[in-house]
């Protein structure tokens, strides 16, 4: 049950990335973090601080700047989509 929920979550997040829907991507990333991380982050900035991959961290920070900065900044929805694909593969490998 948990595996299928996580796969649906990854699918929705990937779809949001492909549509470059920043708000849906933000919501999806934070929802994913809430299911996978102890003491889940409540903001994109807090999530980025916990990421080990520097490119993924920068992509999340760029999304945060786009949503909350004084001027809309460009963000790489493709990078975040690739990150979601890696997460989805990880879920499929590790869950019973």
pLDDT of residue 44: 94
The domain spans of the chain are 2-94
Task: Provide mean pLDDT across the span 61-77.
Answer: 86
**Three-state secondary structure readout of 29-63:** HHHHHHHHCCCCCCCHHHHHHCCCCHHHHHHHHHH
Structure tokens at 57: 């961290």
pLDDT of residue 87: 59
pTM: 0.80
Residue 72's SS3 state is coil
pLDDT in tens, 20-38: 899 999 999 999 888 888 8
């Amino acid at each position: 049950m948990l595996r299928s929920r996580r796969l649906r979550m990854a699918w929705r997040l990937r779809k949001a990335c492909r549509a470059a829907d920043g708000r849906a991507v933000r919501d999806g990333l934070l929802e994913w973090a809430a299911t996978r991380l102890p003491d889940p982050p409540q903001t994109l900035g807090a999530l980025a601080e916990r990421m080990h991959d520097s490119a993924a961290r920068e992509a999340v920070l760029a999304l945060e700047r786009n949503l909350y900065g004084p001027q809309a900044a460009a963000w790489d929805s493709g990078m975040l989509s690739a990150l979601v694909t890696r997460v989805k593969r990880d879920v499929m490998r590790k869950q019973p």
